[in-house]
Amino acid sequence: TLSAKISHKLKPKPRPKPKPSSPRASDRPGPLPTVPPFPKGALAPGRNYKMSSRSRPRRRTRDADRPYDPETNSPKPLRRILTHPGGGIENPNHTRNDDKHEKDTREGSFAATFRSRGTVLVTLMVVQSLSGMILGSFEGLIQDHVVVTLFLTMLVGAGGNAGNQSTVNVIRGLATGEINPRTRWSILLRECKLGLGLGLLLCGVAFLRVVLWGYDMASAVAIGTASLVIVSISAVVGAALPLAFVECGIDAAHAGPAIQVAMDIIGVTCTCIICSFVFTLFAPGMDAVDGPGEETMLTEGVI
């Protein structure tokens, strides 16, 4: 009927359902969180992990601060390091270098090693012959004062020991990077102070030893003064020799035997010169004593 048609037209039409839209990126579910097999910060055993450059601060390293490499006579280049589960630091080239060194040791040329060492030893022996020539020039001093011969080995040995200590310390500093072109002068100054202090100490010991053995005061003063000069010089020479070798492109390890020969020559020279001066200075007013219990009176006609 008419009323039914009118009511049908007046009836509100149902709204269409909105079409489902794609979810936004923020509403999308993310991947499920993965549970790490080890606690945070732990490393899986048996694996090597590369150290990220972000985990350590960057620092500009100059060549002067890098450690000395005795094989190349140049600052050692920086190398990446790997951390292993034990917590230590491992060089990636460590195993390779060890294998190469072991192979060279096992299969290396015996003739090459013999030639290298033999050349150094023969050269040092020829240079050391200068000490015999120096002693020959002071033959009169040695004949008149036997005390010089008796204590000469003690003086030369003390100088060699003091110089060897300085040489070892400098070589260690070069290997670890503690000594570089910026710090070498301070190291030499420190060795000068140490040499002077050690020289005074050994001077007193040598003086007491000569006196206790029954020799005269002139002999004690001569031997003690020679000990002071030799030890002081040896400390400086022992520190400067490895640095000079590095500057000349020579392996600093050769400074060990070289300091022994150098101090042999320097020790003999200093001992003869100092003893000659002291005995000349004290001889007119003192009697000479050749040994404990043996006195020689230098008077007219009396021996």
Residue 64: pLDDT over 60 = no
Which H helix or E strand runs over 82?
A: strand 82-83
Tokens (6 digits) for 116: 């290298």
Burial class of residue 202, CB neighbours in 10 A (0-12, 13-18, 19+): buried
In DSSP terms, 294 is beta-bridged to: 291
Residue 55: pLDDT over 80 = no
- Contact between residue 254 and residue 245 where contact means Cβ atoms under 8 Å apart: yes
Each residue of 123-160: b (16+ CB within 10 Å) or e?
ebeeeeeebeebbeebeebbeebbbbeebbebbbebbb
Q: Which CATH number fits domain 110-282: 3.40.50.720, 2.30.30.110, 1.50.10.150, 1.10.357.20?
A: 1.10.357.20
Would the pTM count as exceeding 0.75? no
Which H helix or E strand runs over 90?
A: strand 89-90
Note the pLDDT of residue 37.
Answer: 57
Strands 288-291 and 68-69, sheet pairing? unpaired
Note the pLDDT of residue 296.
Answer: 39
Reported as a pLDDT band with limits 50, 70 and 90, residue 83 is very low
CA pair distance 30, 254, nearest whole angstrom: 67
- Contact between residue 93 and residue 79 where contact means Cβ atoms under 8 Å apart: yes
Query: In a 3-state reduction of DSSP, which class is residue 246?
Result: helix
Residue 119: pLDDT over 80 = yes
Q: List the domain boundaries for the chain.
A: 110-282
Residue 232: pLDDT over 90 = yes
Note the pLDDT of residue 102.
Answer: 52
CA pair distance 74, 191, nearest whole angstrom: 24
